[in-house]
Copies of this chain bind each other. A is one copy, B any other.
Amino acid sequence: MNFRKYISIFLFLSATGLIMAATHPGLFLTPKGVKEIRSSLGKYPLFDQSYNELKKIADEALVAEIVVPQPKDGGGGYTHEKHKKNYYEMNAAGILFQITKDKRYALFVKDMLFAYAAIYPDLGLHPATKSATPGKIFWQALNEAVWLVHTSMAYDCVYDFISEKDRKYIEANLFYPMCEFISNGNPENYKVFNKMHNHGTWATAAVGMIGYVMGDKNLTDMALYGSGKDGKTGFIRQLDVLFSPDGYFTEGPYYQRYAIWPFMTFAQVVQHQQPELKIFEYRDGILLKAVDKLLQSSYKGEIFYLNDALRKTFKTQEIVYAVNIAYKNNPKNKSLFDIVGQQGDFIVSDAGITTAKAFYREKNKPYYTYKSLFMRDGQNGTEGGIAIVRNSNTPDATCLTYKATSHGLSHGHYDKLSITLHDNGNAVLTDYGAVRFLNIEPKYGGHYTKENYSWGMQTIAHNTVTINETSHFEAKIDVSSEFHPEILYHDFSNKEVQLISALEKNAYPGTEMQRTTAMLNHAAFEFPVVVDIFRVKSPQVNRTVDLPFYYQGHMVSADFNYQKNTVELKPLGDKNGYQHLWLEANGKTDKPQACFTWVKGDRFYSITTLTDASSELMMTRTGAGDPNFNLRQDPAFMIRRHNTANHTFVSIVEPHGLYDISKEVTVGYRSNIVSLKLLADNEMISVVEIVTADNKTLLFAVNNQTGKSENKFDYRGEQYVFTGNYLLKLITNK
């Protein structure tokens, strides 16, 4: 494909389009910011460090040869990484030129832009044909938009340095063709540009930002209001649609982190260029809400693994952008300084210097307050949601997540009602996240591996119920995307009992699954425990109903007999994720409950779970069916119920004891639970009895309905009544 034909069209369009007057730089860095940064250097060590890192990138770029290679490699490969490096270098050099006025930086940006302008019009689609929306410089158009976001900032910084003639050349041969390619280069790109999806956010931000630099209202209107400029698509519409009213991003926290980058960056640009739009106040401050919810979706500074997710911390540049810009546009939020302190990094921009100055000036730096919360999913907040339940507001408190959201677009997993648990600073019960080695070319080009579909997305990879070894919605995204669980209630008002209950009726047609999960903070236990009641109600007898708990740590003991496979391992099944599980051991018990204990960090953890004659207890590990070493070796304790129509799993996850390997002190390696019973279980209520080793009896009753009707049950000849969603009662043993 030859793009020279577009050039004349765009020269025409830009000549007829409304050209806005513009100050340069005025995009992300402004003359005010430049002045502030100049007068601040040497005063704020962490800001200096961020500046020096940028300067190092720019200075190294100055002395190296400019190389703009012919696009060839996918993510992680040479040309891919080189083009990324190029935009980082231009961005750094542009900023350095503004701060230092050293023309060598500006010249570098100009020369590199010329090098790109020289090849861009002749570039066809990228040769690595791994994306439905290929780019030209990169294997996917997404990266092309990211390139343009960064390069726009660089161009803005050197705009006045470049002669008008040279600018015309660059704009005609590079920026206009690229805008055309990103927004309309082929039907797929047009769709993405107008799609309610984070790729669309990058695309609109890119076109909008270069539009502002070039003073082209045609482009900025397209960016803000979509190709039709009617507001049916575009950046503003994305703000309406892509976040729930609570600020939850439907793809989950990992992609919320990624999406927040173009959202906040472009919003900051809009705020500079069109302050009358009050973009940070739009939809009741949706962007600031989204940043807050992103920060809440974390444990010890690490973003939760839910849906397709890899390890990401607060230190990533996108969260540095988000926090700096959030502070700049809401300087009352001093708790952000806690996050800033953890990041120790700033953007070299107006937002960054404002944040850095305030951070150093402010003596009162309150901790960021983590809290229990429920985030609704869906544009209107009506499509289920996710609960984050914390025992206290510290970063290393016991923390339960309970996911009952909608599917989450292409990065969603078949994980209805799945839970994870963090405690004592560690991940304890985990979601596998994504099977991907981002940017490692030999690992399937750095893309999501095949095992991401065959394992990561499947239901059995999650701490929730799989029936008949088949994933929710048979792992069909079209079907899964039509439904969402029904939230019955959530209640975090009493720190002693925080709980959530949701109902999923569609994952297995005809079958109802209800999970009620509570964090109990009661003196009968050393630490908070999780009581988990998972009800399955099916019209037919199912061959298998499985509830796994993927734990982190090393197995310590089990109170049931098990047989470990020592001379041969076989997979647990042959499809739907089961082909990836080695069956390490299985067992049974005659007792009414089974207890499985492991150690993680300096603490022990036990799961005590109800069992009967039809229960099988299994220990599995991932890694089977994995020809290319893509999987980790994660262990699980799994409860399997055979030949089941209706069944209720009751499990208690209990942190206990101390394993201090430094002082060689061990205490409390045994679970404190000696008996677990399900006393009642019907459409109205479930009642659980827990007896501890020191002979305390706890009754815990939960409501199985939405709405708070009066519920009653008898126990040891006495009647108990509750009208809320639960009753927790310590019984004095006589």
Chain A interfacial positions (CB closer than 8 Å to B): 75-76, 81, 84-85, 310-313, 315-317, 437-443, 446, 554-557, 564, 566-571, 579, 582, 584-585, 597, 599, 619, 621, 623-629, 632-633, 659, 661-667, 669
Contact of A81 among B75, B76, B666 (CB under 8 A): B666
For the complex formed, measure the closest distance between the CB of A552 and the CB atoms of chain B, giving whole angstroms. Answer: 13
Q: Enumerate chain B residues within 8 angstroms of A313, measured Cβ to Cβ.
A: 662
Residues of B within 8 A of A597 (CB): 442
Shortest beta-carbon distance, A465 to chain B, in Å?
Answer: 25
Cβ of B567 and Cβ of A626 under 8 Å apart? no
Residue of chain B at shortest CB distance from A598: B629
A664 to B257: give the CA distance in the assembly, Å.
Answer: 13
Flag if B81 contacts A564 (CB, 8 Å): no
A309 to chain B, nearest CB (A): 12
- Compute how far the CA of A241 lies from the CA of B215 in the bound complex, rounded to whole angstroms: 84
The reply to whether A662 and B439 form a contact with Cβ atoms under 8 Å apart is no
Contact check: which of B439, B621, B666 meets A439 at CB < 8 Å? Answer: B666
**Closest partner residue, chain B, to A621 (CB atom):** B633
19 A-B contact pairs sorted by A residue (CB < 8 Å): A310-B661, A311-B661, A316-B662, A437-B554, A437-B599, A440-B669, A441-B666, A442-B556, A442-B669, A443-B557, A446-B666, A564-B629, A566-B571, A566-B624, A566-B627, A567-B579, A569-B569, A569-B624, A619-B629
Query: Which chain B positions have C-beta within 8 A of A441?
Result: 666, 669
Number of identical protomers: 2
Chain B: minimal CB distance from A665 (Å)? 7
Question: Which residues on the B side are within 8 Å of A85 (C-beta)?
Answer: 665
B569–A599 contact, CB under 8 A?
Answer: no
* Contact of A665 with B564 in the complex, beta carbons under 8 Å: no
Q: Which residue of B lies closest to A629 (CB)?
A: B555
| In the complex, chain B residues whose CB is within 8 Å of the CB of A555 | 629
Specify which of A76, A84, A669 lies most central, judged by the most chain B CB atoms within 10 Å of its CB.
A669
- Of chain B, the residue at the smallest CB distance from A580 is B566
Cα distance A632–B621 in the bound complex, in angstroms = 12
B-chain residues with CB within 8 Å of residue A571 when the two chains form the complex: 566-567
**Contact A568-B569, Cβ < 8 Å, known A312-B662, A665-B439:** yes
Chain B residues contacting A311 (CB-CB under 8 Å) are: 661
- B570 in contact with A666 (CB, 8 Å): no
Q: For A661, list chain B residues within 8 Å (CB).
A: 310-312, 438
Q: Which residues of B contact A310 (CB under 8 A)?
A: 661
Q: How distant is the Cα of A669 from the Cα of B438 in the complex, in angstroms? A: 12
Within 8 Å by CB of A568, from B84, B568, B626, lies B568
**Cα distance A658–B731 in the bound complex, in angstroms:** 59
| Distance, CA A619 to CA B84, complexed state (A) | 35
- Which residues does chain B contribute within 8 Å of A599, judged by CB atoms? 437, 440
Pairs of residues from A and B, 7 with the lowest C-beta to C-beta distance, nearest first: A442-B557, A439-B666, A569-B569, A555-B629, A76-B666, A633-B633, A564-B627
**B665–A81 CB distance below 8 A:** yes
Interface centre among A438, A625, A667, by most chain B C-beta atoms within 10 angstroms, is A667
Contact across chains for A568 and B570 when beta carbons are under 8 A apart:
yes
Residues from chain B with a CB closer than 8 A to the CB of A312 are 661-662
Chain B residue numbers with a CB within 8 Å of A440 are 556, 599, 659, 666, 669
* Chain B residue contacts of A442, Cβ below 8 A: 556-557, 597, 669
Smallest CB-CB separation from A663: which chain B residue? B317
Least CB distance, A586 to chain B, in whole angstroms: 13
Q: Which residues of B contact A317 (CB under 8 A)?
A: 662-663
Contact of A315 among B566, B624, B662, B665 (CB under 8 A): B662
| A554 and B632 contacting across the interface, CB-CB below 8 Å | yes
- For A624, the closest partner residue in chain B by CB is B566
Question: Nearest-CB distance from A537 to chain B (Å)?
Answer: 35
Q: Which residues of B contact A75 (CB under 8 A)?
A: 666
Q: Bound state CA distance, A170 and B375, in angstroms?
A: 65
Once the chains are docked, how many angstroms separate the CA of A443 from the CA of B557?
8
A220 to B597, CA, bound (A): 47
Instruction: For residue A12, give the distance in angstroms from its CB to the closest CB of chain B.
Output: 38
Q: Which of A556, A567, A599, A666 has the largest count of B CB atoms less than 10 A from its CB?
A: A666
CB A439 to nearest CB in B, in angstroms, measures: 4
Chain B residue numbers with a CB within 8 Å of A667 are: 81
Known A438-B664, A566-B627; further 14 A-B contacts with Cβ < 8 A: A81-B665, A310-B661, A312-B661, A313-B662, A317-B663, A438-B666, A440-B659, A441-B669, A442-B597, A443-B557, A568-B568, A568-B570, A569-B624, A585-B629
Cβ–Cβ < 8 Å partners of A81 in chain B = 665-667
Task: State the Cβ distance, A44 to closest chain B Cβ, in Å.
Answer: 22
A625 and B566 in contact (CB under 8 A), knowing A81-B667, A439-B665?
A: yes
Most B C-beta atoms less than 10 A away, residue of A312, A317, A440, A582: A440
Taking the nearest CB of chain B, how far is it from the CB of A604, in angstroms?
9
Q: Which residues of B contact A84 (CB under 8 A)?
A: 665
Q: Please indicate the chain B residues that have their CB under 8 angstroms from the CB of A627 in the complex.
A: 564, 566
What B residues does A669 contact at CB under 8 A? 76, 440-442
A623 contact set on B, CB distance < 8 A: 584
Complex CA gap A626/B567 in Å reads: 9
